């Protein structure tokens, strides 16, 4: 055949025609290939309000997005009224994007209050856009925190155990009466991070500590999610009042952080601020920007830990058989004359399973914080251009019935193998993945272990007298909190 083609004479006009056909073929082939690049399915949109009217429940956006995935698949796009965003649902899609392609998804998406309301836009370590300076600040923060015990079990444990003692003593004063534990849990978690940063704590009845707790709590809630996906709502009177309160509370909190930076920088004692300045060089550090970093660390280090601990107590109160087994396991490992320690962790697998199941069932940040793609990329064959805002619905991954049987139920045993050892740990992704994952994950896990084990060792966690269960309603506004409720801490011995 090749020899025949060699001897075949083709007229010049025909040759030109064949070349033209070949060029067209390759051109159309390239076009077909380009056309085969798929954009994610899109939720319908309307002018001004975008796709928001097609969401079932804005007050529980994580549930609405999970419901939409049943119609559009685990990867879909929606319009927020001002921009497009892509939603990732399910373990597979989230892991591919945020873990396997971590760098591609390392940008930070828009957080409305940070961009439009607070005075220090785009600063700190949480909401700051990805840049060389942002990566340097994050790395330096971790380095300094490690110098003061962050990630060092022995050093960090002592700081947490000191606060555990105060918490147990405080709860004991309730004499088994019904109480709402939210504020005291917030205060204890706040003291852990303040101790780490400044070497100090606030007594539970301290007015300054209570005001800081209130401000930090409020700053994570003001119109958070709704304004992220529907900025035009900020023009409504109710939101305008709320955003005015947010700006006021932000300024109060930043003044405190600035004062702490000045105080710590001039202190004779070693502290986070002095070490941060030493690492970066005094000429390179902007004190206001350092105050914003302090803001991020204190608020993030308080809210997620206290929220998760609160949920764990509710779940144990409402599942007495789980609580009884947990107490039995702790009693078999830890003598009554001492508190559980991180050294006991390898022998307290059921406690670890309870913690993992709490993080799974009640993740503090069900939608994490928004990401932005920094390059053109793709997930599961869907093309996602650079600059696209991305939301990872961690809730959907935790509630996937193909991954977890009866996902709506509290079953710690799903994280134990047949020998009672921890398994499936990587299926719990409450702290997200990648270069913008939760900065305080190590601290949150250690706090959860030490606070929860001490409370369960010392007390029976019970519903109010005469009630069958503790109220477990959810309130979601970026953080998945339990609504106000009551429970009893009855001494075991």
Does pLDDT of 303 surpass 90? no
Q: Which pLDDT value is given to residue 386?
A: 95
In this structure, what CATH number is given to the domain that contains residue 83? 1.10.630.10
Q: Hey, is 107 helix, strand or coil? A: strand
**32 in a structural domain:** no
Q: Among residues 117, 107, 122, which one has the least CA distance to residue 227?
A: 117
Residue 56 lies in a domain: yes
- Give the angle 273-122-104 at the CA atoms, nearest 5°: 105
Quote the pTM value: 0.87
Buried residues in 450-474 as b, exposed as e (16+ CB within 10 A): bbbbbbbbbbbbbbbeeeeebbeee
CA distance 353 to 169: 27
> Does the pLDDT at position 324 exceed 90?
yes
What ranges make up the beta strands (E) of 322-386?
A: 371-372, 377-379, 382-384
- Any bridge partners for residue 487, and if so which? 179
For 453, the domain range is 41-491
* More confident site: 59 or 390: 390
Bridging pattern class, strands 84-89 and 389-393 = parallel
Q: Give Cα separations from 381 to 70, 93, 182 (angstroms).
A: 18, 10, 44
Query: Pick from 427, 188, 423: which is nearest to 313 by CA?
Result: 188
Mean pLDDT score across all residues of the chain: 85
Tell me the C-alpha distance between 355 and 312, whole Å.
7
- Nearest of 235, 170, 183 to residue 209 by alpha carbon: 183
**Contact in structure between 67 and 49 (CB atoms under 8 Å):** no
Q: 52-60 — which CB contacts under 8 Å span 24+ positions?
A: 52/80, 52/81, 52/229, 52/230, 54/78, 58/225, 58/226, 58/229, 58/230, 59/476, 60/474, 60/476
DSSP-derived 3-state class of residue 227? helix
In a domain, 50, yes or no: yes
Q: Write the CB contacts of 429 (distance below 8 Å, at least 6 apart in sequence).
A: 91, 94, 95, 394, 397, 398
In a domain, 401, yes or no: yes
Asked if residue 178 has pLDDT above 70, the reply is yes
Q: Is residue 73 part of a domain?
A: yes
The residue among 399, 407, 460 whose CA lies nearest residue 62 is 399
CA–CA gap between residue 396 and residue 474 (Å, rounded)? 16
First to last CA, the chain: 95
Tracing tokens 């930090």 back to the chain, one arrives at 216
Quick count: other Cβ atoms within 10 Å of Cβ 82?
Answer: 13
Alpha-carbon Rg for the chain, nearest whole angstrom, is: 27
In total, the chain counts a number of residues equal to: 493
Distance CA 288, CA 257 (A): 9
Instruction: Work out the number of other CB atoms within 10 angstroms of the CB of residue 48.
Output: 10
DSSP 90: H
Residue 11 included in any domain: no
Instruction: Region of 416 please: left (phi>0), alpha (psi -120 to 50) or beta.
Output: beta
The mean-pLDDT minimum among 108-112, 214-218, 329-333, 401-405 falls in 108-112
Tell me how many domains the chain contains. 1
Residue 54 forms part of a structural domain: yes
Task: Note the pLDDT of residue 264.
Answer: 87
153 or 31, which is more confident: 153
Written as one string, the DSSP assignment of 195-209 is HHHHS----TT-HHH
Q: How high is the pLDDT of residue 80?
A: 85
Under the banding of pLDDT at 50, 70 and 90, the label for residue 5 is very low
Whether 20 is in a domain gets the answer no
Q: Quick one: what percent of the chain has pLDDT higher than 90?
A: 52
Task: Name the band, by pLDDT with cuts 50, 70 and 90, for residue 390.
Answer: very high
Structure token digits, residue 333: 């490992």
Predicted confidence (pLDDT) per residue in 222-245, tens digit: 656 778 888 888 888 888 888 888
**pLDDT of 442 strictly over 90:** no
């Amino acid at each position: 055949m090749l020899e025949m083609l060699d001897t075949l004479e083709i007229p010049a006009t025909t040759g030109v025609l064949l070349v033209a056909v070949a060029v067209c073929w390759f051109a159309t082939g390239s076009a077909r290939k380009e056309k085969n690049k798929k954009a994610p399915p899109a939720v319908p949109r309307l002018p001004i309000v975008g796709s928001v009217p097609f969401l079932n429940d804005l007050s529980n956006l994580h549930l609405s997005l999970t419901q939409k995935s049943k119609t559009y698949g685990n990867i879909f796009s929606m319009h927020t009224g001002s921009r497009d965003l892509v939603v990732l649902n399910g373990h597979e899609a989230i892991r591919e994007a945020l873990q396997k392609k971590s760098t591609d998804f390392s940008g930070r998406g828009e957080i409305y209050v940070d961009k439009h309301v607070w005075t220090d836009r785009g600063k700190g370590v949480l909401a700051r856009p990805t840049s060389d300076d942002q990566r340097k600040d994050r790395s330096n923060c971790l380095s300094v925190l490690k110098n003061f015990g962050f990630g060092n079990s022995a050093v960090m444990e002592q700081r947490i155990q000191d606060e555990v003692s105060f918490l147990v003593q405080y709860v004991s004063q309730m004499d088994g009466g019904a109480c709402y534990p939210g504020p005291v849990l917030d205060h204890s978690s706040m003291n852990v991070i303040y101790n780490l940063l400044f070497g100090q704590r606030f007594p539970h009845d301290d007015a300054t500590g209570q005001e800081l707790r209130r401000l930090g709590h409020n700053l994570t809630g003001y119109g958070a999610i709704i304004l992220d996906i529907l900025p035009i709502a900020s023009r409504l009177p109710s939101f305008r009042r709320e955003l005015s309160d947010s700006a006021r509370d932000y300024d109060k909190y930043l003044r405190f952080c600035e004062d702490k930076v000045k105080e710590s920088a001039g202190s004779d004692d070693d502290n986070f601020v002095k070490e941060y300045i030493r690492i970066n060089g005094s000429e390179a550090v902007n004190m206001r920007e350092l105050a914003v970093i302090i803001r991020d660390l204190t608020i993030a280090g308080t809210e997620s830990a206290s929220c998760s601990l609160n949920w764990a107590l509710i779940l144990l109160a409402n599942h007495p058989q789980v609580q009884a087994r947990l107490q039995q396991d702790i009693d078999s490992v830890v003598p009554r004359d001492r508190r559980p320690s991180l050294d006991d962790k390898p022998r307290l697998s059921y406690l670890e399973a309870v913690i993992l199941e709490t993080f799974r069932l009640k993740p503090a940040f069900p939608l994490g914080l928004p990401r932005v793609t920094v390059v053109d990329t793709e997930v599961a064959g869907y093309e996602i251009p650079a600059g696209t805002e991305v939301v990872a619905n961690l809730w959907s991954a935790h509630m996937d019935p193909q991954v977890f049987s009866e996902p709506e139920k509290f079953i710690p045993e799903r994280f134990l193998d047949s020998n009672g050892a921890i398994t499936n740990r990587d299926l719990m992704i409450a702290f997200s993945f990648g270069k913008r994952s939760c900065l305080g994950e190590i601290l949150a896990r250690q706090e959860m272990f030490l606070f929860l084990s001490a409370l369960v060792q010392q007390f029976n966690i019970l519903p109010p007298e005469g009630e069958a269960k503790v109220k477990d309603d959810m309130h979601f506004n970026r953080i998945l909190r339990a609504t106000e409720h009551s429970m009893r801490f009855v001494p075991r011995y």
